[in-house]
Structure 1
Amino acid sequence: MAEDANLAASRAREVSLLVLDVDGVMTDGGIYVDARGEVTKRFHVHDSLGIMAAQAAGLAIAAISGLDSPAVAARMAELGITEYHPGHHRKVGVLQGILERQGVPPEQTAYLGDDWVDAGPMGLVGLPMAVADAQPEILELALWVSRRGGGQGAVREAVRFILAAKGRLGAAYEWFLD
């Protein structure tokens, strides 16, 4: 395990793009449906601040979701995530398009996932990451696993890990002090 931790930290130093799954990573995986059939989702504020810190430190953020939800689209817009791609259960082609547009090679990319739809992208990137409550097959693919589950601050943990490895965690914190 220490070998994986060292390899993960080494690869994190090179990361310039973090791609996130949404349901089960940015959310707890729950889908809340009201009486009108409207779907809402719960996001953790620690994750949101982590995304803002990452962006302030120069780490690009993208998101690919298997579902298409207006609630998620609104949250992505609020967080300034312009590379948001909903409604994709096969994510490799979408990820390749993001990498092309962003001009980032796969080895400088991290992907944080939790379920089978994330296996393809995790196999493509330099730093495959998983949330603590991910499916067993996804945990096996990950070089780094959060201590927290999806929607419980796991994104913030991943951002902290990457920024710390890059020596930018302190600068990200300082950004909030100004």
Structure 2
Amino acid sequence: MNDTVPSPADRDRLLSEAVALRAGGGKEEARRRLAALAALLPGDAEVAYQAAWAHDVLGLEAEAVPYYETALAGAGLTDDDRRGALLGLGSTYRTLGRYEDAVTLLERAAAEFPEDGALRTFLAMALYNTGRHHDSARLLLNLLATTSEDPSVRRYRAAIEHYAQDLDAIG
């Protein structure tokens, strides 16, 4: 890739090729290409998101952060990609030990996408890491009660939701 800003058609082609490479197992080459494309298109949220993802799947979490942040600061992500970027960044903050940042971001993300159980699950993990064990357990118990297909869990849903509000309560 040269240092010339690609046309919209070339941008789409280059992005598609890099994403296909990542999906096909060429993760390092995809990362290299997406980083180069992101350097040429620094405000492109979709390119930044794909670059973040490419770094993340290789365990390069610290390098993924600025790409995630750029993606979320920009416009143009689909709802699914925005949700993915929020989850990716929140999880990455947590992996890097930035627990408070993870909680703040994932709380906002869970409010924005309240139907997304994965966001709430990662929020529960970050809450646990900050010492907010009751909040973490409450969130997970409510998620379990509302999403489980297990008949025995479904039978006790009301009780689980009740006790999730105060795990220390008796009766």
Larger Rg, first or second structure (1 or 2): 2
Point out the structure with the larger strand share.
1
Q: Which has the higher helix share?
A: 2
- Higher relative CO (Cα under 8 Å, sequence separation at least 6) belongs to 1
The TM-score by the shorter chain falls in which range? under 0.3
